[in-house]
Amino acid sequence: MIFLLAAALMCASGVGLLRALRLGTGSLAVDVPLGWFAGMAWFAAVTFSIQALLGVPANPPLAIAVLALPLAGWGLLRWRRPGFASSGGSGPPGLERRRMPRPRWLFAPMAAWSIAVLVAVALHGMSTPTHTDDAYRVRAFAPVLVAAGTWNGQARDLIAMAGPIPAVAPALAWILGAPVDPFHVNATIVLTFLALLVLLVALASERGTPEAGWGAAFALTSIPLLVYHVTSTYSDAWLAMYLGAAFAFLVAFGQRRDTADAARALLLLLGAAMVKREGELVALPAVAILLAQVAWVRRAEGVRSIFRLAPLCAAYGVVVAGRVAAVGVPGAFPFLRAAAERTASAGGAAATAAAAAGPVAVGASTSAPGVWTIFVEALFSDGNLGLLWWVLAVSVILLFPRIRKHGLAWSGAALGLIFAETAASALWLYPEFTLNHGTVHRSLLPVSAAAAVWLSALIVAACQPESMKSIPPGRRGDATRSGSKGRPRRRGG
């Protein structure tokens, strides 16, 4: 019960943050799950930064103040600016809300499967301490340290390894005085899964394509390893869920070109960056693509379009500074160090070549598959990711013309970059963890979640009749369109 109270506080704070930043969509069905994601990111970022930069450990007054700040800010803005409540806070214009996907005979079983998986995950995740299949989990132990205020060298290292969100968000109830119960970590992840599915369905319904939302939910719940991870306390699922939610808004921005969607996507990507040490690396390509997309789509506005997103990026800089203060530069960016060592080491290059060469060169066992074989099998054959990558590969080939036509090119590029990064990690940076099956499967979970959301949007777009176009008219956006009203239209433009 205390957990649910803490979760409600976190969610309310997140909704307040969205409203204060004018990122609310005007629909509670979207804003509440989005608020859960935003609230966790806000609470974790501020609490972690205050501890790391100012040395103030998490405590009840601080937690209450951090959670209340967005709500207070929203209230203040409403009071000082009478028009604030009605400005922003809505989806792009011209959208027809539609709740029921069509055809129902097809989507009813898909919805039933998604809900059945959600129920099974919630019950199993809440009834078994699965985090103990590894004895203890860094990501389950870190929140205990945060709640206890432990901040010695080893604790700092462990909290940085977990990332601010996994380390801080599940600890809220304990910080407020509840006894430590590791099951709060399970419950937080299960609740995030619920929030993700609700967000995907509600957002797509609000935007008139409930098929894309239910399709994404079905695709996500058809990834067996992701489903198992959600019942445990490993953070790959957490990273996958933040990335999946971010891609819902990346896709929406590509299709509707509403800058608020870009800002929502950025907020979620910065949340993903605060999960595990690799979260930042996973989110970085998507952030870069998003900023480039905003600059291109809104180029008529000049640099102002980017300036609107700058405060969010700057706020994340504080979190990075906090991590550097906690564990130093080498500890804060371990992948850069690993990549530099890999590049500099001639032996490393030789080992990579040997690993990539396959069975004969890998080692003593002549029958052992090489890294490429294992990586390809992880994508297509061994069932951990379901059929997702089969469908994605075929869809990209057959539906390629639809990608650009329906505004999915930029988000597709972001997906491609994240996949390339994941492949580079599995094949080049850490081939040993691919050869021993240690991390190759779960490292593919974040990009798979993003792929599920993107793929669903692509397939639904491809099933629309040719006459239905998703992108708003005018390649230069609404500003250009409003300026050309009443003028003769160029045919074929």
Partner 1 sequence: MLLAVAPLSGAREVSLREFAAQIGSTAPLRLAPDGIGVDVDGWVGLFLPLAGAEALQIDYRSAGFVMLTWSSGSGNSTPAPHSPPWHRQVLAPGPGRVTLDLRTTPNWSVDRVPFLFLQGTGTVIVTGLRARAAAQDPVTRTGAFDEALRWAPVRIGHTTINFIDEPFWSASRNLLLQDVLGFAFVALVLGGVLGWWATKRRWRPGPAVALAAIVAAAAGNLVFAVRAAPALSLAPSLDTDARLRKWTDFDAELGPLAALARGAIGPKERVGVLAKPSDWFGWETLCFHLAPRPCVQVVSGSPEYSGLHGVDRLRPDQIDALVFFHAEAPLPPGFAPSVVLDKNAFVARRR
Q: Which of 140, 240, 332, 355 forms a contact with partner 1 (CB under 8 A)?
A: 140
**Least distance to partner 1, CB of residue 442, Å:** 6
Site for partner 1 in 384-423 (CB under 8 A): 384, 386-387, 390-391, 394-395, 398-399, 402
**Least distance to partner 1, CB of residue 177, Å:** 13
Closest CA to 383 of 233, 240, 236, 226: 226
Please give the distance of CA 21 from its chain centroid, rounded to a whole number: 19
Q: Which of 94, 177, 311, 383 forms a contact with partner 1 (CB under 8 A)?
A: 383
| Residue the block writes with tokens 């939302």 | 213
**Least distance to partner 1, CB of residue 76, Å:** 37
Closest CA to 233 of 316, 171, 323, 147: 171
Bond before 311 cis per omega within 30 degrees: no
Q: Among 29-37, 52-60, 117-125, 326-334, which window interacts with partner 1 (CB under 8 A)?
A: 117-125
Class of residue 303 by CB neighbours under 10 A (exposed 0-12, middle 13-18, buried 19+): exposed
Nearer to partner 1, 211 or 280 (CB): 211
126 binds partner 1, rule: CB under 8 A: yes
**Least distance to partner 1, CB of residue 493, Å:** 25
Nearer to partner 1, 40 or 144 (CB): 144
Nearer to partner 1, 25 or 221 (CB): 221
108 binds partner 1, rule: CB under 8 A: no
200 binds partner 1, rule: CB under 8 A: no
The residue type at 101: P
109: which residues sit within 8 A by CB, 6+ positions away?
none
Q: Are 278 and 229 in contact (CB under 8 A)?
A: no
Taking the C-alpha atoms of residue 263 and residue 282, their distance in angstroms, rounded to an integer, is: 18
**Least distance to partner 1, CB of residue 402, Å:** 7
Number of H helices, E strands in the chain: 27, 0
**Least distance to partner 1, CB of residue 211, Å:** 9
Class of residue 489 by CB neighbours under 10 A (exposed 0-12, middle 13-18, buried 19+): exposed
Q: Among 271-279, 307-315, 410-418, 454-462, which window interacts with partner 1 (CB under 8 A)?
A: 454-462
**Least distance to partner 1, CB of residue 369, Å:** 12
Q: Among 126-134, 270-278, 355-363, 481-489, which window interacts with partner 1 (CB under 8 A)?
A: 126-134
Q: Among 67-75, 275-283, 319-327, 433-441, which window interacts with partner 1 (CB under 8 A)?
A: 433-441
390: which residues sit within 8 A by CB, 6+ positions away?
380
Site for partner 1 in 458-487 (CB under 8 A): 459-464
- The two structure tokens encoding residue 50: 């205050």
DSSP state for residue 5 in the 8-state scheme: H
Nearer to partner 1, 84 or 380 (CB): 380
Please give the distance of CA 265 from its chain centroid, rounded to a whole number: 9
Nearer to partner 1, 194 or 292 (CB): 194
Site for partner 1 in 157-176 (CB under 8 A): 157-158
Q: Are 441 and 391 in contact (CB under 8 A)?
A: no
**Least distance to partner 1, CB of residue 289, Å:** 25
Q: According to DSSP H, which parts of 1-59 are helical?
A: 2-20, 28-49
Binding footprint of partner 1, residue count (CB under 8 A): 72
Q: Among 42-50, 294-302, 317-325, 375-383, which window interacts with partner 1 (CB under 8 A)?
A: 375-383
Taking the C-alpha atoms of residue 17 and residue 20, their distance in angstroms, rounded to an integer, is: 5
Nearer to partner 1, 293 or 456 (CB): 456
Contacts with partner 1, 231-260, as mask; x by CB under 8 A = -x-x--------------------------
- The two structure tokens encoding residue 96: 């027809």
Give φ, ψ of 345 to 5 degrees.
Answer: -85, 115
**Least distance to partner 1, CB of residue 200, Å:** 16
156: which residues sit within 8 A by CB, 6+ positions away?
52, 326, 327
